Amino acid sequence: MLNPRSTKRQMVRICHLLAEKDYVSAMDGNVSCRLPDGRFLATPTMVHKGFVAEEDLIVVGADGKKVEGPDDRNPTSEIFMHLAVYERRPDVHAVVHAHPPTAVAFTLAGETLARCVLPEVVLTLGQIPTAPYRTAGSHELAHVVGELITGYDAILLERHGAICAGRDLVDAFGKMEKVEHTAIITHKARMLGRVQELQCAEVDRLRQMGARYSSRGTPAPACEGCDGCPTGIPWQKEPDFTVLRATGTARAAGTTTATQTAAAKHGIEQIVTEEIVRALSGRLSPY
């Protein structure tokens, strides 16, 4: 049974952490949790998460309208994205939405985080898919989030942020940390060299183990890019996700192919550059 007082305190603490950890800037992000009476405690719109206080929090109904809270505080338009999660996932009791910078940078570059590379991510989140771009706060964005959340607990939102669902506030916040941490590690690894996926058998083993810990109770859909995926691209039956599928499939062509192509291209570029420099230096030489 949720204690309203301690739930508010925890929500405020998580908002402050989102700001301290640089997962949001200015008024970005929002946090909510399911109350025992079927309503939802939520952060209001236009509040800096680093300064939000318990008295700023509002209660909204299943339609997203404010039913409790200060007169000068109103629901965020992004509440519909939260409600889409609660509607599809009865096991979810808290939702955290933020704009973690490295993870968002991946979406700007058209790079996926849905790869079987980190064992703890495969175990706990399965994969981190990217929802195709939709306007922030729109019902279209709530729709794509609602579709993907049935299979995943953490979703990247193209050019926007990430949304994470948990059994409670700390669980949802921890998943947000995991998303940004995965993006940071993947970025660093790519700067060092080629990033290889986990072995297929290990991916499958981790997915089965993960099903036991997940409140979803089923193994996470498999990754876009590795051979460990018995089901292939998980959203291939979703006609709405052609943009996502196109991006994912391009990535799913494989790290090896992409890396080899890049390496080959780089090699050719280097040869051409050297030839041009040699030719120019010959032409410009007074001798």
- The CA dihedral of 218, 90, 128, 97, to the nearest 10 degrees, is -160
Closest to Zn ion by CB, 97 vs 207, is 97
User: 78: which residues sit within 8 A by CB, 6+ positions away?
Assistant: 30, 97, 136, 137
Q: Give the nearest distance from C-beta 97 to Zn ion in angstroms.
A: 6
Q: Which of 138, 127, 129, 141 is nearest to 219 (CA)?
A: 127
Q: What are phi and psi of 182, to 5 degrees?
A: -60, -45
Closest to Zn ion by CB, 95 vs 203, is 95
Find tokens 């993960």 and name the residue.
210
Closest to Zn ion by CB, 94 vs 116, is 94
Annotated catalytic residue within 78, 158, 197, 224:
78
Q: Give the nearest distance from C-beta 263 to Zn ion in angstroms.
A: 37
Residue 128 tokens read as 């981190």
Closest to Zn ion by CB, 161 vs 228, is 161
Closest to Zn ion by CB, 57 vs 203, is 57
Is 78 an active-site residue? yes
Q: Give the nearest distance from C-beta 76 to Zn ion in angstroms.
A: 8
Find tokens 């590690």 and name the residue.
185
Contact criterion met (CB below 8 Å) for 64 and 77: no
Contact criterion met (CB below 8 Å) for 267 and 206: no
The whole-angstrom separation of Cα 157 and Cα 98 is: 10
Q: Give the nearest distance from C-beta 253 to Zn ion in angstroms.
A: 31
Q: Which amino acid is at 150?
A: T
Q: Give the nearest distance from C-beta 20 to Zn ion in angstroms.
A: 18
The residue nearest Zn ion at its CB is: 161
Note the Cα 68 to chain centre separation in Å.
30
Contacts to Zn ion by CB under 5 A? 161
| Residues designated catalytic | 78
